[in-house]
Structure 1
Amino acid sequence: MKVQVLFFGELRETVGTAYESVEVVAGMSVSDLIEQLAARGEPWKTAFKASDPLRVAINKDMATLHAALPDNAEVAFFRPVTGG
Structure 2
Amino acid sequence: MKLVYFARVREALGRDDEDFDFPASLHTVGDALDWLVAQSPLHAEALADRSKLRFALDQRMVKADAAIAGASEFAIFPPVTGG
* TM-score normalised to structure 1 length: 0.86
CA distance in 2, matches of 1:72, 1:66: 14
Q: Which of structure 1's runs of 4+ aligned residues deviate more than 3 A?
A: none
Alignment of 1:1-84 (within 5 A): 3-26=1-24, 28-50=27-49, 53-84=52-83
Cα 1:51–1:63 change in 2 (3 A) is closer
Write the letter of the residue equivalent to 2:72: A
| Bigger Cα displacement from structure 2, 48-57 vs 32-41 | 48-57
- The structure richer in helix per residue is 2
Write the letter of the residue equivalent to 1:73: S
**Structure 2: segments with no counterpart, 5+ residues:** none
State the secondary structure of the residue aligned to 2:4: strand
Once the two structures are TM-superposed, the CA of residue 49 in structure 1 deviates from its matched residue by 0.7
Once the two structures are TM-superposed, the CA of residue 73 in structure 1 deviates from its matched residue by 1.6
Contact 1:4 1:72 in 2 (8 A): no
- The structure richer in strand per residue is 1
- Count of residues in correspondence between the two structures: 82
* TM-score normalised to structure 2 length: 0.87
Cα 1:5–1:43 change in 2 (3 A) is same
